[in-house]
Amino acid sequence: MTKRKYSVPALEKGLSIIETLANSPVPLGVTDIYETSKLPKSTIFMILTTLEELNYLQKAEDGKYRLTLKLYNIGMEMLSKMDLRNIARPLMEELAAELRVTVHLAILENGKATYIEKVKGPGFVQFSTEVGQSMPLHNSGVGKVLAAFLPKDTLESYLKLHGMPATTEHTITSHEAFTKFLENVRESGFAIEDEEGELGIRCIAAPIYDHTGAVAAALSITALRNELPSISFPEVGRKVKQKAMQISFRLGYDRTEEE
């Protein structure tokens, strides 16, 4: 059976116009694009206007259009994320082998922590987490770390958007309690998630900094409760923090810090 092909004509036309502008050494007007694409001028005008409103294009005084750096910035953002994965992966493998746990790398996306890399632990039990999976800020180790370094207004907006539902009896559901917890995260340099997302599962996470000193991601380890006793939290937290700092240094972070 032949697989049916789906397409969005308006999107195809918009991307075609973007590519036309990208390949032109000079700004182009509606007539210029019409001569190249043969699309109706009314269609070209509407697409150009929409792209301008979304800040993908800039209109000059003569009425012609040029691309802004928005697409470039989007591309660079994705490239930086790929660089982060490539830099972090070997160190994640070291941590997984040393502690015999599963290791995750997450970034902040749409007010949640999203896994962008995972190294499975060598143990018999494997966790069902996947790259691309999003975790709430309030009940995950990576989420707590990313939340701890957000501006207050930004954090409040994310918590309001997604809420703080209880996923287990241990979940922090109070804004006040969560705020106090995040103070401890900033002081210690790592976050503990103790059966708050799922019973029997514990996580410890630490921040990764970029070359500007901003938190770029969170590194975490995930283990069964009996494999990560509470008495080991300080020592394991120190190791996760050290590994996160090594990744930070490779990203260009240059502030020395005593471990």
Residue 258 has pLDDT above 60, yes or no: no
Architecture of 78-250 per CATH? Answer: 2-Layer Sandwich (3.30)
Answer whether 236's CB lies under 8 Å from 221's CB.
yes
Domain pair 9-68 / 78-250, same fold: no
CA distance 99 to 102: 9
CATH domain 9-68 topology:
Arc Repressor Mutant, subunit A (1.10.10)
Residue 157's pLDDT is 94
Instruction: Express each pLDDT in 163-213 by its tens digit.
Output: 999 999 999 999 999 999 999 999 999 999 999 999 999 999 999 999 889
**Each residue's pLDDT tens digit, 85-139:** 999 999 999 999 999 999 999 999 989 999 999 998 776 566 777 888 889 999 9
By the 8 A CB rule, do 140 and 165 touch?
A: no
pLDDT of residue 74: 81
The span from the CA of 240 to the CA of 244, in Å, is: 6
- Within a 10 A sphere around the Cβ of 39, how many other Cβ atoms? 16
Q: Domain map of the chain by residue range?
A: 9-68, 78-250
Calpha distance 103→89 (Å, rounded): 10
pLDDT in tens, 50-95: 999 999 999 988 999 999 998 888 877 766 666 899 999 999 999 9
